[in-house]
């Protein structure tokens, strides 16, 4: 056996011993509030990012098929050669309009958008300052921005951020980067305070709103709308990134939205734009339709909030320790990793699909079940899940 194989086997054995080795479950039909898992049958889904129930919406599916028929399977090119189709312009225009920014640019994922954005903006001598709980794609994008100084501030701690920014006064460009909604806690970045801190230190605020867009604000425009911040100008967030793979259709894709100069610069310099295929037209067409539906049916957002409240209150009534937030992520604090994993398996045995997260995704002793709601859940779906949680209460 080669050294590599020995090392991989050792790690895999350790993961199995720790109970954190992942096995993939196979869905045999579309995702929705209800789906089917191979070998298990029908389950209620409370772990998907399909916040608005649009992933299998007939009009979203049809728009994708129309895009497929009209434009074919893909672009067979990067954007600047011959891979920009009219559906890209249409979607980017709609995204900018929806978010209130000057312009937007799509990527094949938000991971890709973060990695395409941060390294291309930062040069030697600049600095990037990141919330400690930021998404992995922001952490990796920061690593790719290597000639720039990288600093981390304690989660949501604006005073600590200002201290760091003060120490970085010599850096010509300082980017402050944060998730809008943090995926493991469900809590929000304090955007108004972050905007104010960035203005005081002439820093640029970048917000990845992947779990916020479609979820927060009366129109689902995301965390900035929740805080009544404008989409552009000095009183708002400077640059937004987000995904099309969660609330906005769930297929794939991401975007950067912000000033026209940023977008034009990314078209010139962002490496995924220059060296990797464009978003497939099918996905662009589905995402545009998802935006369309959200704009015409903002009541989906209200329904999502009502569903989240019903679940959170129900869990509290049963005595579970649940974190509070306006997002659609409801973390149930369990403690030990093994217990969280066992509970998620017992829930699945009862047809309730909820995932447990333990160390190293969250700190040891802070393992949790993460319940995610969708506008497509009915009261009955939620109550069925609560019945299962009640039956397992003694174990939790
Ligand atoms: C889910 C998520 C991503 C990844 O989005 P993809 O489009 O699937 O790559 C990036 N950032 C944050 C904050 C996320 O929650």
Listed in sequence order, the residues at least 6 apart from 380 whose beta carbon sits closer than 8 Å to its beta carbon are none
Atom of ligand 1 nearest to the CA of 244: 7
Q: In terms of residues, how long is the chain? A: 396
| Cα–Cα distance list, 232 to 16, 20, 195 (Å) | 48, 43, 12
d(CA 49, ligand 1 centre) in Å:
10
Check residue 394 and give its pLDDT: 79
Atom of ligand 1 nearest to the CA of 181: 13
Check residue 307 and give its pLDDT: 98
Check residue 31 and give its pLDDT: 96
Listed in sequence order, the residues at least 6 apart from 90 whose beta carbon sits closer than 8 Å to its beta carbon are 284, 288
Q: Are 42 and 36 a contacting pair, CB within 8 Å?
A: yes
Would residue 183 show up in a list of annotated catalytic residues for this protein?
Answer: yes
d(CA 394, ligand 1 centre) in Å:
35
Listed in sequence order, the residues at least 6 apart from 83 whose beta carbon sits closer than 8 Å to its beta carbon are 75, 76, 77, 277, 278
- Model confidence band, residue 271 (pLDDT cutoffs 50, 70, 90): very high
Q: Is the pLDDT of residue 19 over 80?
A: no
Summarize pLDDT for 102-130 with one digit per residue, the tens: 999 999 999 999 999 999 999 999 999 99
Q: Are 56 and 31 a contacting pair, CB within 8 Å?
A: yes
d(CA 1, ligand 1 centre) in Å:
37
Kindly state the average pLDDT of the residues 196-207.
98
- Model confidence band, residue 20 (pLDDT cutoffs 50, 70, 90): confident
Summarize pLDDT for 362-391 with one digit per residue, the tens: 888 999 999 999 999 999 999 999 999 999
Pocket of ligand 1, beta carbon within 6 A: 109-111, 135, 137, 179, 183, 208, 210-211, 243, 245, 254
DSSP state of 266: H
Question: Which is more confidently placed, 24 or 360?
Answer: 24
Q: Is the pLDDT of residue 274 over 90?
A: yes
Q: Which of 57, 88, 135, 211 does the annotation list as catalytic? A: 211
Check residue 223 and give its pLDDT: 98
List beta partners, residue 328.
none
DSSP state of 121: H
Atom of ligand 1 nearest to the CA of 243: 7
Q: What percent of the chain has pLDDT over 70?
A: 99
Check residue 338 and give its pLDDT: 85
- Ligand 1 atom 14: residue of nearest CA: 210
Query: Helices marked H in the chain — which ranges?
Result: 3-18, 58-71, 86-99, 110-121, 136-144, 158-167, 191-200, 223-226, 260-269, 271-275, 281-296, 299-317, 337-349, 379-391
Kindly state the average pLDDT of the residues 201-212.
98
Report d(CA 110, CA 245) in Å as an integer: 8
Map residue 304 onto helix, strand or coil: helix
**Ligand 1 pocket, mutate which of 254, 255, 286 (most atoms under 8 A from CB):** 254
DSSP string, 138-206: HHHHHHHTTTSEEEEE-TT-HHHHHHHHHHTTT-S-EEEEEESB-TTT--B--HHHHHHHHHHTT-EEE
d(CA 31, ligand 1 centre) in Å:
18
Burial class of 121 by CB neighbour count within 10 A (0 to 12, 13 to 18, 19+): buried
Give all domains of the chain, ordered by start, each with its CATH number: 17-46+298-395 (3.90.1150.10), 58-296 (3.40.640.10)
Would residue 305 show up in a list of annotated catalytic residues for this protein?
Answer: no
Nearest Cα to Cα of residue 280 among 310, 249, 258, 303: 249
Q: Are 226 and 189 a contacting pair, CB within 8 Å?
A: no
DSSP string, 7-25: HHHHHHHHHHHHT------
For residue 136 the two structure tokens come to: 């992995």
Listed in sequence order, the residues at least 6 apart from 381 whose beta carbon sits closer than 8 Å to its beta carbon are 33, 34, 44
The per-residue pLDDT of the chain, averaged, comes to 96
Kindly state the average pLDDT of the residues 150-175.
98
Q: Is the pLDDT of residue 222 over 80?
A: yes
Q: Which of 246, 289, 377, 381 does the annotation list as catalytic? A: 246
Check residue 298 and give its pLDDT: 97
Check residue 361 and give its pLDDT: 85
Kindly state the average pLDDT of the residues 28-46.
97
Cα-Cα-Cα-Cα dihedral sign, residues 105, 111, 117, 120? negative
Q: Is the pLDDT of residue 160 over 70?
A: yes
Q: Is the pLDDT of residue 207 over 70?
A: yes
Place of tokens 């050792």: 10
Kindly state the average pLDDT of the residues 58-85.
97
Nearest Cα to Cα of residue 108 among 238, 252, 299: 252
- Model confidence band, residue 359 (pLDDT cutoffs 50, 70, 90): confident
Would residue 211 show up in a list of annotated catalytic residues for this protein?
Answer: yes
Check residue 367 and give its pLDDT: 94
Q: Are 362 and 332 a contacting pair, CB within 8 Å?
A: no
Quote the Cα angle for 215-217-221, to 5°.
Answer: 70
Q: Is the pLDDT of residue 66 over 70?
A: yes
Q: Is the pLDDT of residue 1 over 90?
A: no
Q: Are 284 and 85 a contacting pair, CB within 8 Å?
A: yes
Summarize pLDDT for 302-356 with one digit per residue, the tens: 999 999 999 999 999 999 999 999 999 999 999 998 899 899 999 999 999 999 9
Q: Is the pLDDT of residue 396 over 90?
A: no
- Ligand 1 atom 2: residue of nearest CA: 210
Q: Is the pLDDT of residue 95 over 90?
A: yes
């Amino acid at each position: 056996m080669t050294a590599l194989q020995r090392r991989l086997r050792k790690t895999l054995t350790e993961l199995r011993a720790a109970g954190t080795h992942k096995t993939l479950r196979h869905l045999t039909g579309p995702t929705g509030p209800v789906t089917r898992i191979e070998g298990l049958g029908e389950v209620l889904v409370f772990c998907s990012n399909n916040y608005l129930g649009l992933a299998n919406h007939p009009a979203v599916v049809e728009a994708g098929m129309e895009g497929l028929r009209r434009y074919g399977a893909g672009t067979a090119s990067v954007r600047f050669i011959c891979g920009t189709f009219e559906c890209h312009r249409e979607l980017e225009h709609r995204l900018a309009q929806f978010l209130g920014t000057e312009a937007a640019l799509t990527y094949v994922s938000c991971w890709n958008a973060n990695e395409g954005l941060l390294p291309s903006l930062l040069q030697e001598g600049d600095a990037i300052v990141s919330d400690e709980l930021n998404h992995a794609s922001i952490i990796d994008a920061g690593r790719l921005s290597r000639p720039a100084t990288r600093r981390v501030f304690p989660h949501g701690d604006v005073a600590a951020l200002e201290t760091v920014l003060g120490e970085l006064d010599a850096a010509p460009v300082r980017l402050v980067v944060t998730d809008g909604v943090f995926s493991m806690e469900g809590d929000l970045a304090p955007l108004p305070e972050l905007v104010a801190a960035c203005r005081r230190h002439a820093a640029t605020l970048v917000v990845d709103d992947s779990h916020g867009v479609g979820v927060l604000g009366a129109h689902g425009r995301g965390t900035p709308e929740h805080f009544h911040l404008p989409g552009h100008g000095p009183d708002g967030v400077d640059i937004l990134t987000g995904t099309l793979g969660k609330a906005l259709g769930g297929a794939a894709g991401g975007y950067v939205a912000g000033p026209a100069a940023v977008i034009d610069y990314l078209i010139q310099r962002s490496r995924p734009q220059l060296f990797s295929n464009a978003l497939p037209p099918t996905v662009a067409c589905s995402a545009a339709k998802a935006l369309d539906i959200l704009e015409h049916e903002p009541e989906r957002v209200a329904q999502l909030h009502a569903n989240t409240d019903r679940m959170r209150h129900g869990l509290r009534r049963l005595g579970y320790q649940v974190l509070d937030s306006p997002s659609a992520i409801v973390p149930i604090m369990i403690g030990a990793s093994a217990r969280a994993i066992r509970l998620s398996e017992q829930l699945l045995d009862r047809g309730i699909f909820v995932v447990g997260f333990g160390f190293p995704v969250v700190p040891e002793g802070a393992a949790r079940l993460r319940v995610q709601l969708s506008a497509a859940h009915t009261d009955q779906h939620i109550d069925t899940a609560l019945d299962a949680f009640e039956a397992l209460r003694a174990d939790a």
